[in-house]
Amino acid sequence: MVDRQGTSQRSKFLDACRAHNAGELGEDDLIETTRRLGFQNVIDAFHVLDGLEIDQRFFLDERSNRGGIRLTDQMHRLLEEAKQTSLTEETESRWQLVEAAWELNLPRHLLTVSYDPDLQSLRTVGRGRTAVTGIRGALNGYQKGVCFFCYSPISTDGSTGSQAQVDHVFAWSFGAEVGNAPVDGVWNLVLACARCNGWHEKSDRPPDERLHRRNEYLIASQHPLRPTLIAQTGGTANARAKTLERARIEATAGGVRTPWLAPEELPPLF
């Protein structure tokens, strides 16, 4: 446990975690303390998002009469979907980004990361070349396990033959920046199948509005990459749209063959 994880000044559970970190409490005792105290606030707040209760319930709280919680069909379906969509890796990637902010003594909303193509990972700015988390897991959520361009199935699992490839929507051949934003920035990276990533015409094609919508989705959902996307492309949705428009104009001036798609021409979201 990172000490910044807790916001309470006094907590028996967090004190036990701190004692474990200091070597003063054994693992078995920590597990027992976690069983008794660790989920008191988590269970009560699990179905609350942005201050509101969500419609779907992933478990029923039956601690008062049965001494535990009961998983619902929605939770079982989610676990089945996770086997197909790399949800576990995506969750772990998000958590590693949050923990990196805590380790650097930063608020989570101030963590800015950069993409390291050699490591195929995200790393914190000014932290040398220490990888924080894999880029594929961090980007996979919005695409729901399909290629950004053709919607064919992809995976973040390196042991499969269909592992997603990290692709620049605006090609790195445009230079270090495009639209005044870093071409290697997370805002410009998507997951693609091998065929689309290797397609020579695709590398010269501007993105359609889906790239902007992807970035806005991650920002609105409070994804840990939110501060990085804002730092790279602008503080407001309008500023970020202008960044993409500048990039499109630069790409078009470079001889792009495929036109920018108007909103009414867009394919469905993932």
pLDDT in tens, 80-123: 876 666 777 888 888 888 888 888 877 777 888 999 888 889 98
CB atoms under 10 Å from CB of 11, counted, come to 16
Residues 130 and 164 in one domain: yes
Per-residue pLDDT at 270: 52
Does residue 169 sit within a domain?
Answer: yes
Beta bridge partners of 177: 182
Residues 116 and 247 in one domain: yes
Question: How much is the mean pLDDT over the chain?
Answer: 80
28 vs 34: CA distance, rounded Å: 10
Residues 207 and 118 in one domain: yes
Residues 81 and 196 in one domain: no
Residues 9 and 30 in one domain: yes
Band the pLDDT of 259: cuts 50, 70, 90. Answer: very low
Residues 68 and 187 in one domain: no
Does residue 187 sit within a domain?
Answer: yes
234 vs 141: CA distance, rounded Å: 22
Question: How many angstroms from the chain centroid is the CA of residue 234?
Answer: 19
Higher pLDDT: 130 or 57? It is: 57
Does residue 44 sit within a domain?
Answer: no
Does residue 43 sit within a domain?
Answer: no
Per-residue pLDDT at 258: 40
Residues 92 and 81 in one domain: no
Residues 193 and 222 in one domain: yes
Q: What is the DSSP string of 11-33?
A: -HHHHHHHHHHTTSS-HHHHHHH
**189 pLDDT above the threshold of 90:** yes
Per the structure, the complete domain to which residue 29 belongs is given by 1-38
Does residue 45 sit within a domain?
Answer: no
* Contact between residue 196 and residue 153 where contact means Cβ atoms under 8 Å apart: no
Instruction: Please state which of the ranges 92-96, 126-130, 183-187, 265-269 shows the lowest mean pLDDT.
Output: 265-269
Does residue 168 sit within a domain?
Answer: yes
- The model carries a pTM of 0.72
**27 pLDDT above the threshold of 50:** yes
Residues 24 and 114 in one domain: no
Domain count across the chain: 3
**126 pLDDT above the threshold of 90:** no
Higher pLDDT: 144 or 124? It is: 124
pLDDT digits (tens, 9 = 90+) for 233-252: 999 999 999 999 888 888 77
Residues 112 and 15 in one domain: no
| CA-based nearest residue to 17, from 9, 7, 106, 6 | 6
Per-residue pLDDT at 85: 63
Does residue 270 sit within a domain?
Answer: no
Residues 193 and 241 in one domain: yes
DSSP 3-state assignment of 113?
strand
CA angle 127/130/134 to nearest 5° reads 120
* 71-77 contacts at long range (C-beta below 8 A, 24 or more positions apart): none
* Contact between residue 114 and residue 128 where contact means Cβ atoms under 8 Å apart: no
* Contact between residue 190 and residue 143 where contact means Cβ atoms under 8 Å apart: yes
pLDDT digits (tens, 9 = 90+) for 170-187: 888 778 888 899 999 999
Higher pLDDT: 110 or 31? It is: 31
Higher pLDDT: 35 or 187? It is: 187
Residues 33 and 60 in one domain: no
Give the tokens for residue 49.
């998002």
